Structure 1
Amino acid sequence: MIQIDDVVVTLDILREKFLCNLDICKGQCCVEGDAGAPLEKEEVAELEKVLPIVWDDLSLEARAVIDKQGVCYKDEDGDLVTSIVNGKDCVFTCYDENGCCSCAIEKAYRAGRVDFYKPISCHLYPIRVGNYASFKAINYHRWNVCKAAVLLGEKENVPIYKFLKEPLIRKFGQAWYDELEEAVKELSERGLI
């Protein structure tokens, strides 16, 4: 592990390879699992703000869930997560003609319709952020639905931290990411990664 400011980084994030392959996985990370996507408290207001703009992109089932319980709920651990449909799909998922799942919020962001990209936990995946009293920890979350991403990342030699450069900067800032790259360079020179 290394630490940059108050963030502990596991070496897996620096060593392991990952590159999403939506042609194979079809966006299963937005569907599979036992709860919705983890949310930061301030993101709830952002989700509610973009909801009217993405409403027509959501399924009828997702709209019904949102009407009943809102855009989020507390999971069994007491954490805020996005609401889900039928115990699986995030309410913000949408599907294309090929059955590929994507995020309605991200789609609206890319089209210039909203200024919120999507929840940071989604943007950072497969990194998960743990918040502790005096520090944060970022860990690689391994999941069998992402096997194609691991294989493509290995083929293209893309480490997780490089694949997730944009969301890491969004979460921790450019100076933090620059320091991470310096640490990677030093660890590589010493043969530790």
Structure 2
Amino acid sequence: MIIVDNVIVSDEFINARFCCHLARCKGECCVAGDAGAPLEPDEVGLIEEYIEEIKPYMRPEGIEVIEKNDVYDYDDRGMLVTPLVNDEECAFVYFHENGTALCAIEKAYLEGKIDFWKPISCHLYPIRLVEKDGFIHVMYHEWSVCVPAKRKGEKEGIPLYKFLKGPMIRRFGEDWYERFVKQIVK
């Protein structure tokens, strides 16, 4: 384990090899599970602010869910999450013609319609951040749908922390990331 400031990084995360393999998994992490993606309170406000720019990329079923309920929901622990369509896929999912699940929020961002990329929990996946006792714990969430990504990362020798460099800098800052990497490569 490595501690940088108030962030505790697990050995599992440090040692993991990983590289998303959308051609194999088809974005399964966006359509499977028992709850939507975790949301930060400020992200709810951003999604509400940009929802009209996001809607053109959403499926009708997703739009129906957010118009009937809201752009967020709560999981069984009372945490903010994205809403689900039929208790399955994220309401913000749309499907590419090849069947891959993609994010309508990210699509709006990539097309320059909004300046919010997507929820940080989605950007950081397969890690989850757990706040406890004043620390942020960086935990590697191993899930069977990501087996192709693990295999690809192992084959190509890509450490998970390098694969997630951009999202980690987005969440913790460039200075933090550089200090974190220096501790790994000592």
Secondary structure in 1 aligned to 2:3? strand
- 1:148 equivalent to 2:148? Answer yes
* TM-score, L = length of structure 2: 0.98
Match of 1:163 in 2: 163
Question: Following TM superposition, by how much is the alpha carbon of 1:56 offset from its aligned partner in structure 2, in angstroms?
Answer: 1.9
Contact between 2:57 and 2:108, CA under 8 Å: does it hold in 1?
no
Match of 1:15 in 2: 15
- 1:109 equivalent to 2:109? Answer yes
Aligned CA RMSD, in angstroms, stands at: 0.8
Question: What code does the residue aligned with 1:87 have?
Answer: D
Match of 1:190 in 2: none
Identity of aligned residues (%): 47
Question: Following TM superposition, by how much is the alpha carbon of 1:50 offset from its aligned partner in structure 2, in angstroms?
Answer: 1.8
Contact between 2:36 and 2:83, CA under 8 Å: does it hold in 1?
yes
Q: Deviations over 1:13-70 (max 9, x none)?
A: 1111000000000001100000000011110011112210121221111111101110
Rounded Cα–Cα distance in structure 2 between residues aligned with 1:54 and 1:67: 13
Rounded Cα–Cα distance in structure 2 between residues aligned with 1:58 and 1:103: 8
* TM-score, L = length of structure 1: 0.94
Question: What code does the residue aligned with 2:141 have?
Answer: H
Q: Where does structure 2 lack aligned partners over 5 or more consecutive residues?
A: none
Q: Where does structure 1 lack aligned partners over 5 or more consecutive residues?
A: 187-193
What count of residue pairs does the alignment treat as equivalent? 186
Question: Following TM superposition, by how much is the alpha carbon of 1:133 offset from its aligned partner in structure 2, in angstroms?
Answer: 3.0
Rounded Cα–Cα distance in structure 2 between residues aligned with 1:159 and 1:184: 11
Question: What code does the residue aligned with 1:149 have?
Answer: A
Q: Which runs of 4+ in 1 moved over 6 A?
A: none
Secondary structure in 1 aligned to 2:115? coil
Rounded Cα–Cα distance in structure 2 between residues aligned with 1:50 and 1:93: 16
Rounded Cα–Cα distance in structure 1 between residues aligned with 2:111 and 2:59: 19
Secondary structure in 1 aligned to 2:117? coil
